[in-house]
Amino acid sequence: MKKISVLFVCLGNICRSPAAEAIFINLLEKKGLTDSFCVDSAGTGHWHIGKKADSRMRIAAERRDINILSRARQITTQDFQQFNYILAMDDSNFRNIQNLKNRSSSTDYASIKKIQNFRSFFNEEEVPDPYFGGDEGFDHVLDILEDSVSGFLESIS
């Protein structure tokens, strides 16, 4: 059985997308679905390649028993062939992903969507970037992502 592959994407891959990845993995573990999925995260920018997620996001996630273990990487044209779903955190990154896809000559099968298309309880159409704000912004982003990531999983299961 082929695994369903999911890539979460934000700007630097140190706050929102690694948190979404970890939340999704946590949900899969709770539902016993880990073996059916391949999950990763990436950024449209290159500034943080190889770095751990922002310590403020890791701490906020750990308070919810969610471990963010990934290292930052940048999205590549190969991702359009490797992943079934590519989920952008906001409009700007959605456009950046689409632009990269349009410059690629390779065929793909990735469905590119905005994660907030799957929200149930929050009005935000984008997942805000908490990087330049206070600690409460990281908790708010986790609340938003727990809602939309679980909505995404429901939509494909």
Residues recognised as catalytic: 10, 16, 129
Alpha helices in the chain (DSSP H): 16-31, 55-62, 79-82, 91-103, 135-156
Identify the sign of the CA torsion 41, 46, 49, 55. negative
User: Using alpha carbons only, what angle is made at residue 152 by residues 55 and 130, rounded to the nearest 5 degrees?
Assistant: 25
Look at residues 112, 131, 124 and name the one whose alpha carbon lies nearest to residue 143. 124
Apex CA 120: angle with CA 38 and CA 98, to 5°?
A: 50
